[in-house]
């Protein structure tokens, strides 16, 4: 497993326990390593959901 794949999986694990900040950080790192990583789609989806649910979560 490559480092970007590991970060994507870690992001998914953080997302499942609702640690949004760490999930986004992992996805961002994965995207830096591989711009075609599935983390790109996961990050966009999570940001969309968070923007819809509560913008305050992204701006503490």
- pLDDT score at 27: 98
- Residue 8 corresponds to which tokens in the numbers above? 């994507």
Tokens 């998914």 -> residue: 12
- 21-60: pLDDT as tens digits: 999 999 999 999 999 999 999 999 999 988 877 665 556 5
- pLDDT score at 14: 98
Q: CATH for 3-54, among 1.25.40.10, 1.20.120.1230, 2.40.30.40, 1.10.1060.10? A: 1.25.40.10
In a 3-state reduction of DSSP, which class is residue 24?
A: helix
Segments making up each domain of the chain, as ranges? 3-54
- pLDDT score at 33: 97
């Amino acid at each position: 497993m490559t480092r970007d794949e590991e970060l994507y999986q870690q992001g998914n694990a953080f997302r499942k326990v609702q640690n949004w900040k760490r999930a986004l950080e992992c996805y961002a790192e994965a995207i830096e390593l591989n711009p075609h990583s599935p983390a790109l789609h996961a990050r966009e989806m999570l940001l969309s959901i968070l923007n819809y649910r509560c913008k305050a979560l992204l701006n503490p």
